[in-house]
Amino acid sequence: MNTTLISASELAARLDDPALVIVDCRHDLMNLAAGREGYAVGHIRNAVFADLETALSGAKAGADGQFRGRHPLPERAALIDTLRRWGIDDGTQVVAYDAHGGMFAARLWWLLRWVGHPAVAVLDGGLAAWQSQALPMTADVPARRRGAITERAPLVQTVSAGDVLANIGSGERTVIDARAPDRFRGENETIDPVGGHIPGARNRFFKDNLQADGRFKDAAQLKADFAPLVADPARAVMQCGSGVTACHNLLALEVAGMPGAALYPGSWSEWVADPSRPVSVGA
């Protein structure tokens, strides 16, 4: 079972394994059609496509009408139905990939763990690593039988905006923001209506989890990177702009052998929807 990362060569060796489902998670926050268009041109053989906006996210407003962020979690029942449509069973090894260093694939990795499925890994180095070895690509869309994955107890933790707000006073948890440093400081904000960060949060840009070739740093290096920020993973909260790249930091922590941190799913986009919540700018 692969539960964090899988190499291109490992995946290639299992490409025809009936107990394997590969999911293409390519996406572009500025061009929402780009991922599906890229998949149509060519993808790893047998891969199905996951759209971040529809399959991997839920309604932006909750039952109470409150904004939940740009990419709120899907309803668990809807997610289970999607996973079944992709042919996923309780015993399926899932591999997620994208063309962005795991930026979007890590979201599916986390979501599967959220519904209690541990056998999910991200393709290390993504599509670039696969193509660098001239491994099989196709434009054919695979026919998938319906799977029978069942919902089980979550393997991950979440916190709410209220939890994060209460933490500003208590400081019991360490909040880590995965956005780029300039957005964290409140500069060059082009996605959300307000720039800045949650008071007391610390910055760990998700791209710093990667080597120059797009593969994740090794466990020892990631642990050394995170140790000054996260003294106790069980008391840490990962957030970002909308709950997507925070999952990249959660994956990196797992690779580093530092599991247990929680996700704030609504993240900055939900946080600033309520003008009464405090905002900090600068480093």
Q: Is 247 part of the annotated catalytic residue set?
A: no
CA-wise closest residue to 119 among 194, 22, 226 = 22
- Match 């990962």 to its residue by tokens: 238
Quick count: other Cβ atoms within 10 Å of Cβ 9? 11
**DSSP type of residue 233:** G
Residue 268 identity (one-letter amino acid): W
Distances (CA, A) of 167 to 57, 179, 205, 228, 277: 26, 20, 22, 20, 12
C-alpha to C-alpha distance for 244 and 137, rounded to whole angstroms: 26
- Measure the CA–CA gap between 44 and 259, rounded to whole angstroms: 30
DSSP H helices, the chain, are 8-13, 34-41, 76-85, 105-114, 126-132, 161-170, 181-185, 219-226, 246-255, 267-271
Give 98: exposed, middle or buried? Use CB within 10 Å, 0-12, 13-18, 19+: buried
Look up residue 253 and give its two tokens.
Answer: 């922590």
What are the φ and ψ backbone dihedral angles of 47, each rounded to 5 degrees? -75, 140
Choose the catalytic residue: 50, 123, 129, 240.
Answer: 240
Active site residues: 240
